[in-house]
């Protein structure tokens, strides 16, 4: 994670961002701290990136890399405003014990876990607004796992993590909003996940799918009220979070959270 010490909305690279709307920075920091503290209360270790005054979107740490099996595929951002974040993430991994041969600088545009979602069987990969389809093949070769490309068609859901959430990566269980995807991608999702939890338009518009699950607890925007009972019925414990100030930048719980999947050096975290 990365504290929103310098968070602001001074440019617009997604439909949620409006530079004319002021950001309450102390409130944004308090909301982010609540999320960080909730992870810790659930037993997760949280590692922190150092915020850079020149990079107001660094708080959205999910976009900086994808980690699967201890191998790190760095990000290459689509917009110049965020491009320098990629080096900050790769530097963190190298300083914290990840072997050089396990950390890859990407050739093609990918925005980390914004567009890569990991299940037991596949890596789901978004395209259409940010990440290049060429990045899907690059990820498959690097991680040695099948990558399923999914086309996003609604600009409000510009990253995969705004339209789909992995609920249990050991059981290939997900929730998603079908209208965010092309007809072909909807058919693929229906085939792969016939028992998926389907989000309503209202819950998707609250960025309710920009959530993080540890297989039991699901941390999600508190405004996505329609998801709470369906999650409970499936055996999950939904935990509503208020990240309303960060929503002004187009992100919520998942955007703030990069997951570090083993290999993990001794004492290293499982979430960051």
Catalytic residues: 159, 255
Q: How many CB atoms lie within 10 A of CB 264?
A: 15
Residue 154: CB atoms within 10 A of its CB come to: 17
Residue 215 half-sphere exposure toward CB, CA atoms < 13 A: 8
Contact between 256 and 1 under an 8 Å Cβ cutoff? The reply is: yes
CB 81 within 8 A of CB 13: yes
Query: In whole angstroms, what is the distance from residue 167 CA to residue 199 CA?
Result: 13
Reference 81, options 17, 170, 152; nearest CA is 17
Contact status, residue 5 vs residue 33, Cβ threshold 8 Å: no
Asked if residues 241 and 34 have their Cβ atoms less than 8 Å apart, the reply is: yes
The sign of the CA dihedral 177, 178, 179, 180 is positive
Residue 65 near residue 112 (C-beta atoms within 8 A): yes
Q: Give the length of the chain.
A: 272
Cα separation, 37 vs 171, in Å, equals 27
DSSP 120: S
Quick one: tokens of 140?
């498959």
Cβ 86 vs Cβ 113: under 8 Å: no
Q: Are 29 and 51 in contact (CB under 8 A)?
A: no
């Amino acid at each position: 994670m990365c504290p929103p010490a310098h968070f602001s909305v001074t440019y617009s690279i997604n439909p949620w961002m409006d530079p004319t709307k002021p950001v309450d920075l102390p409130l944004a920091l308090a909301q982010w701290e609540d999320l960080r503290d909730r992870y810790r209360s659930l037993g997760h270790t949280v590692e922190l990136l150092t915020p850079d005054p020149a990079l107001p979107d660094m708080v959205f740490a999910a976009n900086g890399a994808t980690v699967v099996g201890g191998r790190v595929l760095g990000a290459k951002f689509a917009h110049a405003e965020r491009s320098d974040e990629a080096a900050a993430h790769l530097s963190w991994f190298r300083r914290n014990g990840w072997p050089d041969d396990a950390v890859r600088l990407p050739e093609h545009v990918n925005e980390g876990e914004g567009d890569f979602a990991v299940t037991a069987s596949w890596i789901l990969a978004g395209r259409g607004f940010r990440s290049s389809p060429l990045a899907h093949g690059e990820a498959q070769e690097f991680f040695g796992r099948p990558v399923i490309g999914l086309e996003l068609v609604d600009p409000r859901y510009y990253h995969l993590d705004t339209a789909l959430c992995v609920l249990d990566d050991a059981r290939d269980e997900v929730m998603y909003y079908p209208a965010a995807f092309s007809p072909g991608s909807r058919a693929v999702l229906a085939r792969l996940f016939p028992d998926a939890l389907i989000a309503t338009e209202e819950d998707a518009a609250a960025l309710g799918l920009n959530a993080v699950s540890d297989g039991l607890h699901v941390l999600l925007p508190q405004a996505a009220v329609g998801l709470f009972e369906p999650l409970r019925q499936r055996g999950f414990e939904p935990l509503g979070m208020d990240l309303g100030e960060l929503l002004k930048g187009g992100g919520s719980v998942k955007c703030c959270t990069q997951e570090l999947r083993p290999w993990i050096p001794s004492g290293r975290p499982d979430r960051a």
